[in-house]
Amino acid sequence: MKRSFIACVMAAAFAAAGTAAAAEFEMQFGGGLSEEHPHTIAHRFFARRVGELTGGRVEITVFPSNQLGAERERAEALQMGTLEFTKVMTSVLANFMPEMNVFSLPYLYKGDDHFKAVIKSDICKNMMRNLEKVGIKGVAWYFAGNRCIYNSRRPIKTPADMRGLKIRVPENPVMIDTINAMGGTGVPVNLAEIYTSIRTGVVDGAENSTLFYYEQKHSEVAKFYSYTNHMVDTNISIMSLAAWNLLPGDCRDAVEQAGRETEDFLFAEWTRIEADFNKKLEGQGIAFNEAEVDAFREACRAVWEKHGSRLPAGLIDSILNVKY
Nearest-angstrom CA–CA distance, 65 and 100: 24
Better pLDDT: 7 or 47 = 47
Q: Is 99 helix (H, G, I), strand (E, B) or coil?
A: helix
Amino acid at 226: S
Nearest-angstrom CA–CA distance, 59 and 52: 9
DSSP annotation string for 199-253: HTTSSSEEEE-HHHHHHTTGGGT--EEEEEEEEEEEEEEEEEHHHHHHS-HHHHH
Say if residue 23's pLDDT is above 80: yes
Rounded (10°) CA dihedral 288, 292, 295, 299: 10
**Contact, 201 vs 194, CB < 8 A?**
no
Segment 151-179 shows an average pLDDT of 97
Better pLDDT: 124 or 12 = 124
pLDDT for residue 22 = 86
pLDDT for residue 21 = 64
**Contact, 128 vs 138, CB < 8 A?**
yes
**Residues in Cβ contact with 204 at an 8 Å cutoff, skipping those fewer than 6 apart:** 151, 152, 153, 165, 166, 167, 198, 222
Beta partners for residue 168, in sequence order: 187
Per-residue model confidence as pLDDT tens digits over 226-245 = 999 999 999 999 999 999 99
What backbone phi and psi angles, to 5 degrees, belong to 179?
A: -65, -40
pLDDT for residue 96 = 85
Percent of all residues in the chain with a pLDDT value above 90, rounded to a whole number: 87
Domains identified in the chain and CATH numbers: 21-319 (3.40.190.170)
pLDDT for residue 17 = 43
**Contact, 156 vs 164, CB < 8 A?**
no
Say if residue 196's pLDDT is above 50: yes
pLDDT for residue 191 = 86
Per-residue model confidence as pLDDT tens digits over 107-144 = 999 999 999 999 999 999 999 999 999 999 999 999 99
**CA quadruple 231, 116, 139, 103: dihedral sign:** negative
Per-residue model confidence as pLDDT tens digits over 91-105 = 889 988 999 999 999
Say if residue 293's pLDDT is above 90: yes
Mean pLDDT of the chain: 92
Say if residue 6's pLDDT is above 60: no
Rounded (10°) CA dihedral 87, 91, 93, 95: -150
